Amino acid sequence: MSKTFAQLCLVSSLTMLLSAAASAQTPAAAPAPAASAPAGSCPAILKQTFKRLQDDAPQDLCQYAGKVVLVVNTASYCGFTSQYEGLEAMYAKYSGKGLVVLGFPSNDFGQQEPGSSKEIADFCFNTYGVKFPMFAKSIVSGKEPNPLYVNLIKATGKTPAWNFHKYLIDRKGNVVESFGSKVTPTDKQLVSAVEKALAM
């Protein structure tokens, strides 16, 4: 074997060794980030947009996909208005586990929600410290309820008969239960249903 050929082999071997060493020192590639939720992950019942109570900013309900949702039609001058306090307490207690309460003011029953959006928002916050999402006043019963309520009524066969009727939607977008106005936020029936939905 010629001296030149031997030198070439030595250079080649050193190159391979240096390459292998460099590869060993190269840090492993970081794991790929988790894939974002597919576009179709929002359940049909949440594919709605409503104006936020305090500023009329459009809100896509798909932002609550994957959560347990308690939908309530509210009013400021009703015998059940004090339920705001219990609803806020429930939201504060369970929001970290995936619960969201959505309030829909309505003047459908006894004209007990006559105010403007600002008046309603100020009342809810100043009187009961409401922090759960609230939406602009709308119709929830009769011939032309808002689109969300059309679906809630269809799913349960139950139309709100008064203020503070409640619908419970599970994480998959199924409407699992409906509760009348007299069922308070601290009622064992409602609390049990919420906790069961959160556990699924």
What the block records as the tokens of 16 is: 């391979």
The full set of domain ranges for the chain reads 42-199
> Catalytic one among 9, 42, 62, 78?
78
Query: Which pTM was predicted?
Result: 0.80
Residue 89 CB neighbours (<10 A):
14
Architecture of the domain made up of 42-199:
3-Layer(aba) Sandwich (3.40)
Distance CA(135)–CA(137), nearest Å, equals: 6
The two tokens of residue 56 are 């009329």
b (16+ CB within 10 A) / e for 146-178: bebbebbbebeeeebebbbbbbbbbbebebbbb
Say how far apart CA 150 and CA 71 lie, in whole Å: 13
Q: In what order do the strands lie in the sheet with 68-74?
A: 99-105, 68-74, 166-169, 175-179
Q: Is 42 a catalytic residue?
A: no
Ranges in the chain, pLDDT < 70: 1-40
Structure tokens at 127: 């009187």
